[in-house]
Amino acid sequence: MGKEVFLMADMDIKQVVTTLKNDFSDGHQIVFWYDDDGGFKDSISELTTALADVAIVIELMSGHQLETKLRLLNADQSEKFLVYSPQPQPPIEENHLRDMVLYSVTFKADAQEILRQELGLPTNLHRFLKDHKTFFANKVRRARFAKFDIDSYHSQPAVAIMATITRLDQPLVDFFGVLKAILKADLVNNKYLNEFKKYGVLSEFWDKVHQQFNFESDPNETQVLDLSTALYVTMAFRQMDLKVPAKVQQWNLDRKIANVQTFMQQFSASEKVDNQDSFAQVAAAVWQVIDQKQLFRQLEIDDIARADVFKQFDKRILLWIQTQLKLDISDVTVNGVEIDQLTKQRETTHYGQTPYFNHLYQMMCNAWWLKKMVGTSPADNMSSLINDYLEAGYLVDTDYRHFVYEYQQAGFPEDFQPVKNLVEAWYVDYLSTYAVTWNRNFNYQELAPKVLQRNFYKQYVGMENNRIVVIISDSLRFEVAKELQNQFSLDDQINELNMHYLVTGLPSVTYMGMSALLPHRQLALQTNTRRVAVDGMEADNVKKRQLILQQANPRSVAYRFKELKSKTRDELRTAFAGQDVIYIYHNQIDTTAENQGTEDETFAAANEAINELRGFVNRLRSASIAHLYITADHGYLYRDEKLKAVDKIELPTDDADWKAPRYLITKREVKEPGINRQSLATVLNNEDERYVYYPTTANVFRANGGDNYVHGGSSLQEMLVPLLEIRTSSDKSNAQMAELQLVNTKRRITSLEVPLSIMQPEPISATVVPTSYKLYFVDDQDHQISGQLVVNANSEKKAIGERIQTVRSTLIDQVYNRNSVYYLVIENLTDHSISKLQYTMDLVNPDDI
């Protein structure tokens, strides 16, 4: 009778080869190996190579017994054979090799035990490997399975197969991670569930779903969609603190609400793949299912504003705000907060962080602020008008600019055309009211000499003993420079920051402003060209302006910004070497706005100007520039709605007149309603006999020019230009990211809902920069056991009590070991540094809750 060799648990593929070689070295010519499960079929080529100098490997295929037997009978006595069959040995009556098997050696290997050892699994998982031998028959699947940490799945090995199939890209097996991958794949005819069925873990998957969420559903092709619907509906009503309606109890998962909350928070926070927002895509499919049931249509706005799982909630909130603006209701609140605070809260939600809704919320916030500002009445004297504008009035222009920009970035949404029309009406009315008041009180001769633009060089540059840089940004309106100033105020490498102002001459245009900012004894507006002669010299380009600067100080130089913006620190130092006065001409806003094809991008250009100037000042600082000014040649008026015929004043002219939309220069006497004039002799301090005529409102003369962007006239926006003085430091920045500290001293958890009081120790300042953090709980194996919360450390409040916020983290509903330790993870989202705070659990068994 043949000899049987049976290898057990301590065996691997190398030992298979070793054992077979031993059998042949014992003098056996033929070794039969009936591999019942075909577990080593993929290794035949490896065995063939390993036994090449010992024996011939024959793979016994079905229907080839007689052929194989003849091959063996006709073999030379010196030849040895390993006959491998990936099937069980057939019954005696069907086994034509039975007589040869009886006098040969029969070899057996336990593939599951070899695999168990290879994967490092405990002995109790031998049966699991055998039950799922089809899954483990593939090397690639085995390799992916082996990457998971055994401690994370030894009690639920089927979930590790699910994690392998769904290609969970993390070392810890996590059922919520598996479920997220399934929802991201497809809600009907899910490819992963098809593979679960193929490899025998589908029933375990639905058992796990029931265990985690108490979800019950009849098996069908929409089962994943049914589960998704239950998760989203339950979460929505939980956020609203309302009960799930009786008519949709099939979607009520309240018995496992902690797990629903944790999963939904994790799913909402999961990274987008290929710019696809899977959370939103699933929500859209669910909405199609529930929309006909009108679950949320009768709910109050306070309820809707507490939830964030459907984008329809955000749209409803935004339309509701639009309605309040139309009804002119200014004291309304939602859940105790005013509209501007509500929009800021919504910007942190899932949809509020998406570009579309983020733009809309910022748009509505600016509309709300604008509405509050435009109702104020202007002062009735020039000094107060200027002071009011410098203090807060400029914010009307800022809010309008931001509103229009966000509206454009959102894609000009038709649903919000009503609020766009409201904002346009408010702003145009504001401009006209303030322009009329300004022009009723404006007197050029009453302005202090230091604020006249034409005295800039004498008052600020000529008296400076040290090197100074002057950046003149074409059309940099005062309110835009204030935003730039606010950004600089958070830079600890800026030692001193002062905002002054200058009043331009009339007309408030480039050829006047650029000349007025140069050193001079006399300015003269030429009669034959639109140029201002500076002490008899032309000043219509940078080279000519440099010559004028050098007349006042030979150690002067002038550059265009685009000549310098790409230079290195050392190249900048070389460019400025030996110079006392450096003029740099920046042109972002005016270039964009004056072009008819890009006129509607004026406010986007303003944002770009802020970014360019901020970055450039930092580079100048690194090039040892310690003192600089940022100013402008003029401001402008911009209305996003095109000017109508009624807004244009018809004014006859003759050949000697210069006419533009906001001004007319002529010697003639013009007497028309709604028009004022200013003597050029007063503006230029010379004997020019001409006058500048301009509309007393925000309207324009009928003339060639832009439809939205105009300048040259008399208004605060056109004439009041910034003079931002900056002194920099060469010291290294000491700025640090804002921190978060846990106020709670109790580190024992007694409920699945864990309140966390978080404090920001220091307010945002030049040395403390805003930072965002992600908070979540993990077990001692680093397995996440809660949803993820994003907390922003961005408060500028001085009182420490106003920098404390309370959030709630929801733990997974499972059994927790009172003797184990758990951690609250606080992850910095900027540098991804992590701090951990240790907790213990004192929870009753979830089944008893």
Query: Does residue 662 register a pLDDT over 90?
Result: yes
> Lowest mean pLDDT: which of 56-70, 732-746, 760-774?
732-746
Helix (H) or strand (E) holding 56: strand 56-59
Apex 261 CA angle, 256 and 265, nearest 5: 150
pLDDT > 90? residue 530 = no
In a domain, 698, yes or no: no
The CA radius of gyration of the chain, in Å to the nearest whole number, is 39
Q: Structure tokens of 67?
A: 């052929």
Q: Does the pLDDT of residue 7 top 50, yes or no?
A: no
d(CA 179, CA 167): 12
Q: What is the mean pLDDT of residues 499-518?
A: 98
Q: Are residues 71 and 202 in the same domain?
A: no
How much is the pLDDT for 96? 86
Task: Calculate mean pLDDT across residues 721-738.
Answer: 90
**Does residue 222 sit in the same domain as residue 316?**
no
pLDDT band at 849; cut points 50, 70, 90? very low
Tokens of 456: 């800039």
Query: What is the average pLDDT across 204-216?
Result: 95
Q: Where are the alpha helices (DSSP H) in 26-109?
A: 44-50, 65-73, 98-102
Between vectors from CA 821 to CA 818 and to CA 824, what angle results, nearest 5°?
Answer: 120
Tell me, what's the pLDDT at 845? 58
- Per the prediction, the chain carries an average pLDDT of 92
Question: 849 vs 630, which has greater pLDDT?
Answer: 630
Comparison of pLDDT for 808 and 364, the residue scoring more: 364
C-alpha pair distances (Å), 310 with each of 8, 287, 315, 465? 56, 8, 9, 63
| 444 token code pair | 């050029």
Do 631 and 480 form a contact (C-beta atoms < 8 A)?
Answer: no
- Whether residue 665 lies inside any domain: the answer is no
By DSSP bridging, strand 789-793 and strand 771-778 are antiparallel
CATH number at residue 806: 2.60.40.2550
Say yes or no: 555 and 467 in one domain: yes
Chain length of the chain:
849
The residue from 391, 425, 459 where one domain ends is 425
801 and 816 share one domain? yes
User: CA-to-CA distance for 740 and 122, rounded, in angstroms?
Assistant: 43
- Please give the DSSP secondary-structure letter assigned to residue 461: I
Compute the average pLDDT of residues 555-578: 96
In this predicted structure, the answer to whether residue 664 has a pLDDT above a threshold of 60 is yes
pLDDT at 839 > cutoff 80? yes
Cβ atoms of 51 and 14 within 8 Å: the answer is: no
- Please tell me the distance from the alpha carbon of residue 211 to that of residue 232, in angstroms, as a whole number: 18
Query: What's the CATH number where 615 sits?
Result: 3.40.720.10
Does residue 678 fall inside a structural domain? no
pLDDT computed for residue 284 by the predictor: 96
What string of H, E and C letters represents the secondary structure of 190-257?
CHHHHHHHHCCCHHHHHHHHHHHHCCCCCCCCCHHHHHHHHHHHHHHHHHHCCCCCHHHHHHCCHHHH
Answer whether residue 697 is part of any domain: no
Q: Is 521 in contact with 513 (CB distance < 8 Å)?
A: no
Q: Are residues 208 and 170 in the same domain?
A: yes
Number of folded domains in the chain?
Answer: 5
Indicate whether 433 pLDDT > 60.
yes
Q: Which domain holds residue 263?
A: 116-299
| One domain, residues 398 and 320 | yes
Tell me: do 324 and 364 sit in the same domain. Answer: yes
Helices and strands (H and E) in the chain: how many: 32, 33
DSSP 8-class letter at 406: H
Q: What is the pLDDT of residue 182?
A: 96
Decide if 405 is inside a domain: yes
pLDDT at 10 over 50: no
Q: Which of 589, 585, 583, 567 is nearest to 628 (CA)?
A: 583
Which of 682, 697, 728 finishes a domain? 728
pLDDT tops 90 at residue 122: no
Q: DSSP 3-state helix, strand, coil percentages of the chain (rounded to 5)?
A: 45, 20, 35
- pLDDT value at 273 more than 60: no
Whether residue 519 sits in one domain with residue 419: no
Which of 149-153, 643-647, 721-725, 735-739 holds the top average pLDDT? 721-725
Read off the DSSP letter of residue 452.
Answer: B
Q: What is the pTM of this model?
A: 0.86
Band of pLDDT at residue 617, cut at 50, 70 and 90? very high
**CA 195 – CA 132 distance, rounded (Å):** 13
pLDDT of residue 656: 83
CA–CA separation, 603 and 406 (whole Å):
10
Give the per-residue pLDDT at 9: 37
3-state secondary structure of 422: helix
Measure the CA–CA gap between 125 and 151, rounded to whole angstroms.
13
Domain stop point among 235, 269, 299: 299
The answer to whether residue 274 scores a pLDDT higher than 60 is no
Q: Is residue 255 part of a domain?
A: yes
How many CA within 13 A on the CB side of residue 788?
19
Average pLDDT of the segment spanning 427-447: 96
Is residue 172 within 8 Å of 783, Cβ to Cβ?
yes
Task: Say how far apart CA 849 and CA 845 lie, in whole Å.
Answer: 7
Q: For the segment 770-789, what is each residue's pLDDT rounded down to a tens digit?
A: 999 999 999 998 889 998 89
Model confidence at 71: pLDDT above 80: yes
Give the pLDDT confidence of 448-507 residue by residue, as tens digits.
Answer: 999 999 999 999 999 888 999 999 999 999 999 999 999 999 998 999 999 999 999 999
Looking at the predicted structure, is the pLDDT value of residue 569 above 90? Answer: yes
pLDDT score at 8: 40
pLDDT of residue 3: 54
Please report whether residue 652 resides in a domain.
no
Q: Is residue 816 part of a domain?
A: yes
Domain check: are 61 and 164 in the same one?
Answer: no
Same domain, 634 and 579: yes
State the pLDDT confidence band at 19, using cuts at 50, 70 and 90: confident
Q: Which helix (H) or strand (E) holds 114?
A: helix 111-119
* Paired tokens of 791: 């907390």
3-state DSSP of 588-627? CHHHHHCCCCCHHHHHHHHHHHHHHHHHHHHHHHHCCCCE
- Please confirm whether the linkage preceding 157 is cis (ω < 30° from 0): no
Checking if the pLDDT of 389 tops 50, the result is yes
Once rounded to an integer, what is the mean pLDDT over residues 96-119?
A: 82
Top-ranked range on mean pLDDT: pick from 119-133, 218-232, 279-293, 497-511: 497-511
Is the domain of 720 the same as that of 576?
A: yes
Q: Is the confidence at residue 109, as pLDDT, over 50?
A: yes
Which of 681-685, 720-724, 760-764, 776-780 is the most confident on average? 720-724
The per-residue pLDDT for range 337-347, each reduced to its tens digit, is 999 999 999 99
Residue 264: C-alpha distances to residues 180, 242, 268, 835, 843 (Å): 9, 17, 6, 24, 22
In this structure, the answer to whether residues 616 and 475 fall within a common structural domain is yes
